[in-house]
Each structure stands twice: as structure tokens, then as C-alpha cells.
Amino acid sequence: MADTTNISWTDSTHNLWWGCTKVGQGCDNCYAAALDRRTGGNHFDAEPYKRLSDHYWRQPPKWNHKAEQVGKRHRVFCGSMCDWADKQGYDDQRDRLWNLVRATPHLDWQLLTKRASNIRKYLPADWGCGYANVWLGVTVENRRQGLRRLAILRDVPALVRFLSVEPLLEDLGSLDLSGIHWVIVGGESGVKARQMEPAWVDNIFHQCQEQSVPFFFKQWGTFGEDRQRRSVVANGCLYRGREWKGIPV
């Protein structure tokens, strides 16, 4: 959990536990596993996931209270260090999350997963057409796994469905964005980053425009638009000469 975050499409992060297991190409250079290792942990593909403290779980209600006071909704990315739909995770912590979500109506909870086939199994019994303050998302880093996740997500009831196309690893081809309310695109960062071709971004951008889906360009990553390796900050987030920060309405 963090009050603030450098993930530009959200306001804060919260996790159900700390740890995960790699499930595909998008996980190859997992930033969460690297952070875990840097901070002395071994909770990725190894030890049981770490449970988080009561103090940690008490932060989102404070964000909710503040959001109510200032009259501005606050986005919370749930799963910067875990995957909420991971079957190796803890069911009691998922129950705890749903109770928290119901108690924080001024927060927009952004639940992102690479385990799309588990989403329905782990939704709460009273989910119905979806909670008003939950956005469900899947990662779409490539065609083989990502497009299958997209198709699964489309059929799950939710008020907001989104795609995190990050790290974008290849041209995604033709996209059916029906039922999708938001697309985030970004390139990979880190020493082993894989290059994102500008033409792949163009393809997604045009399809979002054609299908009236808000487009959010997060970053170029380690390789800039000119394919040069630099810091993520130096490569920035300008696309076609401007920022793209589309958001679902």
C-alpha cells in the first residue's frame, strides 16, 4: 500500500498480500518480484505470500474519508505486488477486500489480473451487475495470452472494464473493444526491458479512437519513441507530441 504512487493511472496502491507466481511472458521482468528481492523478500515463485498488517489495511478507509471530504473520487490500484485472482492467494484476504470495498464508496478500486479465468470464481456472491466502485481489468501484453484474457473479461459483469496493455510486447492486431471502457498502454522498464515499437502503439491508438474507448499512454519505458535506451523519465510519456490521459467517464 502506498498513499501516493508513481503509477500514473491511479492515486494509491493496495495489496491483498505480498507475492505472486509468474504466469506468462508479461511476467518475465516482473517489477514487483525485483522490488521484493531488493527489500530482502523471497515471496515470488518461492516462499508463501506475505500477509499484510492490520495497520496496512486501515489506510484505505482514510483515503475514502478524505475523498468524501474533498468531493473527489480516489483511484486505488489493487495488486501492485500481487494478483488478486491468484489461486495461491488467501481467500480470507479476498473476503477482507470485498468488505473493505463495500465500506469505501468514495474510492474507485482498480482490480487488475493476469488470471482472467479466475475472476468469476473470486467475485463476491452479491456482485450482481458489478459494484459501482470497482473497475475490473486484465493485462494484454501479447496476442496469445492477452487477447484470450480480453475475451474473458468482456463477458464478466462490471461497470468498468479496462485493459492494461503493458508491457506491450508485440503488435496486437485487430482488437474488438466492445464492452471495454479504458485502455492503458505502456512500454517496459528495467535493464532487461523489451522494446515497444511505435507502430504497435499506433495500432491500438487508432482502434481506441475508432471504437470511442479512452486511451491512456503511460510511458515509453526504457526505449524511447526513437528506440534509444534512456531512463524511463527521460523517455517520458508524450505520444504524437502530447500526453494522453483518457479515463472512463
Positions touching ligand SF4 (CB under 6 A) are 20, 22-23, 26-27, 30, 32-33, 83, 114
Nearer to ligand SF4, 11 or 83 (CB): 83
Integer Cα distance of 52 and 17 in angstroms:
6
Integer Cα distance of 243 and 128 in angstroms:
36
Nearer to ligand SF4, 35 or 147 (CB): 35
DSSP string, 130-183: --TTEEEEEE--STTTHHHHHHHHHTS--SEEEEEE-S--S---S---TT--EE
Q: CA angle at residue 163 from 240 to 34, to 5 degrees?
A: 90
- Nearest approach, Cβ of 143 to ligand SF4 (angstroms)? 18
- Nearest approach, Cβ of 153 to ligand SF4 (angstroms)? 15
Nearer to ligand SF4, 26 or 137 (CB): 26
- Nearest approach, Cβ of 79 to ligand SF4 (angstroms)? 7
Bridge-partner residues for 186, per DSSP?
219
Instruction: Select from 154, 237, 230 the least CA-distant residue to 201.
Output: 237
- Nearest approach, Cβ of 128 to ligand SF4 (angstroms)? 27
- Nearest approach, Cβ of 33 to ligand SF4 (angstroms)? 6
Nearer to ligand SF4, 42 or 228 (CB): 42
Nearer to ligand SF4, 28 or 95 (CB): 28
CB 163: neighbour CB atoms within 10 A? 26
Nearer to ligand SF4, 23 or 238 (CB): 23
Q: Report the SS3 class of residue 184.
A: strand
Torsion angle of the four alpha carbons 1, 8, 62, 33, in this order, in degrees rounded to the nearest 10: 0
- The answer to whether 122 touches 85, Cβ cutoff 8 Å, is yes
Bridge-partner residues for 242, per DSSP?
239
- Nearest approach, Cβ of 134 to ligand SF4 (angstroms)? 19
Three cell numbers at 200? 504497435
Q: Alpha-carbon Rg of the chain, whole angstroms?
A: 17
Nearer to ligand SF4, 104 or 113 (CB): 113
- Nearest approach, Cβ of 71 to ligand SF4 (angstroms)? 33
Residue 8 phi/psi, 5° resolution? Answer: -70, -15
